[in-house]
Each structure stands twice: as structure tokens, then as C-alpha cells.
Amino acid sequence: MPMKLIHPDPPAPFRVGARRYDVRVSPGPIVFDGDRCLGFCDAASLTITVSGTLARDRRLEVLLHELAHAHMFAYGRPCGDEGLCDFVATVAAIAMEDVAACGGVAALESLNPGESLRVRPFAAAAAARKAVTI
């Protein structure tokens, strides 16, 4: 009898400290406290949801915004201008490494409503090599 290989799902791709957030595109608009939102960060479920009604070329901007919320939930608000600038740079650098490991901005933009972004092994290896050589 041939052996069936079981491949576990890759981990959620977006690192926030020791946690990892999953990123999904909603099938419709996101409503929070009665207001429509472009994105939502749920720290309890470690999920970031980007609105399926949003233009695909705006997803990265919204993802970065929601990842900033995730980092604030984990570490608190930065203090002062220098702290804010360090915070923004750190969130953006980590997020862009994680986006690259998932196949780049094109992979984020190509998601259909209801789909999640996942780490792609070859993309992750290439992103790791690039991070080391910079």
C-alpha cells in the first residue's frame, strides 16, 4: 500500500512578536461598531481581515495599518516621535519580509474573498536569503 504524505498547513504568515496572524479577505464589507471598515485586526483570534470590497491595489496599505494595530495590542503605543518612527519602521520591515515569504504583493492582491494568505516555501527561502544579504 503506498504511503500518503500528509503536509500540515503552513503557519499563519504574519509575525507579531511570538504570535502569528492569519490574513484573510472578507467576502463582503467589514462592519465594526456600526461603521464600515477597510480592515480589522482581531487579537483574540490572531486574524487580520481585509475587506473584499476594497480595491486590490490598496490591500497592502490596509494590511500594514492592521499589522500596526496588532503590534500596538502586543507592545502598547510607542512614546514620542522617535518611538513612533522606530515602531513604523519595525512593523513595515517585518511585514514586508512576511509578504515576500507569501509570494509578494501580487499574491496578496490576487486573493479572492474568503481566501487566506499563506507562506510559500520557495518564496520564504528566497525572502530569507534576501534578508541576510541586505
State the burial class of residue 55 (Cβ atoms within 10 Å of its Cβ: 0-12, 13-18, 19+): exposed
Please state the rounded mean pLDDT for residues 80-102: 94
Question: Would the pLDDT of 15 be above 60?
Answer: yes
Contact 22/46 with Cβ under 8 angstroms?
yes
Residue 118 CB contacts under 8 Å (≥ 6 apart), including other chains = 9, 10, 13, 102
- Residue 134: the pLDDT is 44
Query: What does DSSP assign to residue 77?
Result: P
Q: Report the candidate in 27, 25, 78 with the shortest Cα–Cα distance to residue 47.
A: 25
- Residue 12: the pLDDT is 75
Question: Hey, which bits of the chain come out as E strands?
Answer: 14-16, 19-25, 30-32, 35-37, 39-42, 47-50
Amino acid letter, 99? V
Per-residue pLDDT of 110-133, as tens digits, reads: 999 999 988 876 544 555 545 544
Question: Would the pLDDT of 54 be above 60?
Answer: yes
Phi-psi region of 132 (alpha: psi -120 to 50; beta: other; left: phi over 0): alpha
